[in-house]
Amino acid sequence: MQSNNPADLRYSREHEWVRVDGEQATIGITSYAADELGDIVFVEPPEVGSQLKQFATFGVVESVKAVSDLYAPIGGEVVEVNSGVTNDVQLLAEDPYEKGWLIKLRIDDPSDTAELMDFAAYEKRIADEAH
């Protein structure tokens, strides 16, 4: 199975991704998660200024078949919410790694990323889940 998961990201067990750029991180859901959810109808992100703890829930994605919690892959303060996604939830499925990001954080502890999977480990995880 060929994936379109970017190799430069870190991944959580719950299928969120994080792109770290200095003291800021961009977070979204993986294309695998979007595919598993199916027809996404609603997303509820946190408010700007919210303080997120690593692996704690920070919002909800609702599809025709399920409601799924979102989990913060790293901790920090929400500095931006992607209003493009809240206005057009299809971006989560169509372009999850660029236009479909969910939030940006000011990172509390950069070492949080050590708890996440790299590209190879995440690819293995989704291959194992598919079987």
Q: pLDDT band for 3, please (50, 70, 90 cuts).
A: low
pLDDT (average), residues 54-61: 96
Domains contained in the chain, CATH given:
10-109 (2.40.50.100)
Please check whether residue 124 is in contact with residue 5, taking contact to mean a CB–CB distance below 8 angstroms.
no
Q: pLDDT band for 106, please (50, 70, 90 cuts).
A: very high
Distance of alpha carbon 128 from alpha carbon 87, whole angstroms: 34
Model confidence at 108: pLDDT above 70: yes
DSSP string, 72-104: -SS-EEEEEE-HHHHH-TTHHHH-TTTTT--EE
Per-residue pLDDT, 69: 97
Model confidence at 99: pLDDT above 60: yes
| Phi-psi group of 38: left, alpha or beta (phi > 0 → left; psi -120 to 50 → alpha; rest → beta) | left
